[in-house]
Amino acid sequence: MAFNIRLLTPTSPQWPSSLGDLASPPARLHLVGDLDLLAAPQGLVAIVGTRAATSYGERVADSLGYAFAAAGVPVVSGMARGVDAAAHRGALRGGGKTIAILGTGVDIAYPPGHRALHESIAAAGLLIAEQEPGSKAHAGSFPTRNRIIAALARLVIVVEAPHRSGAMNTVEQALGLGRAVAAVPGPIDSPQSAGANWLLGSGGQVICTIEDALSLMGVHASALPPAADLEPIEAEVLAGVPSGGAYVDEVALNSQLSVRQAGVVLTSLELKGRVWLGSDGRVSRRP
């Protein structure tokens, strides 16, 4: 895919003034996509978390990303596996308002498995990188990226993060910049939620519902469009998804279809917003 890469410097009219809060702001940014997202009137929200997300964490990040984008608030994250990717995908479903801050060149999909996500954000949202085009990822590029996420956001939301993680590094930088921070509570025995739960115990805003999160940005859930009409086979497969969720092969068995057939139908149901497919293979109904 050929990218139309634009360059911004601190003298550019569209340069985000919030980057001036950094002790060491970037000297330039390379961008692909909709630069108008940087000037969203409500500001930007960052949704961050662990790469090793649980199905619960990915589902929550996806739902938050969708709700914010549908309400007109662009979602910022780092396009990593797990929570970041789920937040971006949810925002893409909600209208495309999402911004990925990369630790590589803006033309490089990282991890490589996120090439399709990278292209989707380029087409409907915005990609930003401090490094020169073509630059590969290295250990120091991600903390550097995190400071930009923290600076751009009015609010940083943590969905599942261990104590020592990139997400908590972003939180530390956000707190140092005076940004609001919030977290989604998780099980007390889950390592993935240890950092998020610590943040809540240290004064972070608690998010118990999607409306809790939206209210922190001064917006409310937009009216959902009418549910898309389902084909008979889609209704049959949806009926085969238990309220507590199930794996694809279980749904296939319940629907008396092959796993391949059920997978095709479930993908269609996901595009219609009726189910959520976790990276662990579990399928859950959307509320």
Is 164 in the same domain as 269?
A: no
Give the model's confidence band at 140: pLDDT under 50 very low, under 70 low, under 90 confident, else very high.
confident
Residue type, 5: I
Which domain range does residue 90 map to?
24-216
Residue type, 181: V
Is 208 in the same domain as 109?
A: yes
Is 236 in the same domain as 210?
A: no
Is 275 in the same domain as 158?
A: no
* Domain-located, residue 1: no
| Domain end marker among 216, 243, 275 | 216
Is 205 in the same domain as 274?
A: no
- Here the CATH number for the domain that contains residue 181 is 3.40.50.450
* Domain-located, residue 32: yes
Residue 225 reports pLDDT greater than 60: no
Alpha carbon of residue 147 to chain centroid? 17
Is 141 in the same domain as 265?
A: no
Number of other CB atoms surrounding residue 234 within 10 Å: 18
In total, how many domains does the chain have?
A: 2
Is 254 in the same domain as 144?
A: no
| Domain end marker among 189, 216, 243 | 216
Confidence at residue 126, expressed as pLDDT on a 0 to 100 scale: 98
Q: Could you please report the per-residue DSSP string of 71-108?
A: TT--EEE---TTHHHHHHHHHHHTTS-EEEEESS-TT-
* Domain-located, residue 271: yes
Is 63 in the same domain as 147?
A: yes
**Which range, of 91-105, 189-203, 213-227, 248-262, averages the lowest pLDDT?**
213-227
Confidence at residue 215, expressed as pLDDT on a 0 to 100 scale: 96
Confidence at residue 45, expressed as pLDDT on a 0 to 100 scale: 98
Residue 276 reports pLDDT greater than 70: yes
**From CA 187, how far away is CA 54, in angstroms rounded?**
11
Give the model's confidence band at 175: pLDDT under 50 very low, under 70 low, under 90 confident, else very high.
very high
Nearest of 177, 117, 122, 118 to residue 146 by alpha carbon:
177
* Domain-located, residue 5: no
* Domain-located, residue 18: no
* Domain-located, residue 222: no
* Domain-located, residue 8: no
Give exposure, 135-159, as e/b (b: 16+ Cβ within 10 Å).
Answer: bebeeebbeebbbbbbbbbbbbbbb
* Domain-located, residue 163: yes
Secondary structure element (H or E) that encloses residue 62, with its range? helix 55-70
Average pLDDT over the chain reads: 91
Give the model's confidence band at 221: pLDDT under 50 very low, under 70 low, under 90 confident, else very high.
confident
What's the mean pLDDT in 47-63? 92
Is 239 in the same domain as 212?
A: no
pTM of this structure: 0.83
| Domain end marker among 159, 192, 216 | 216
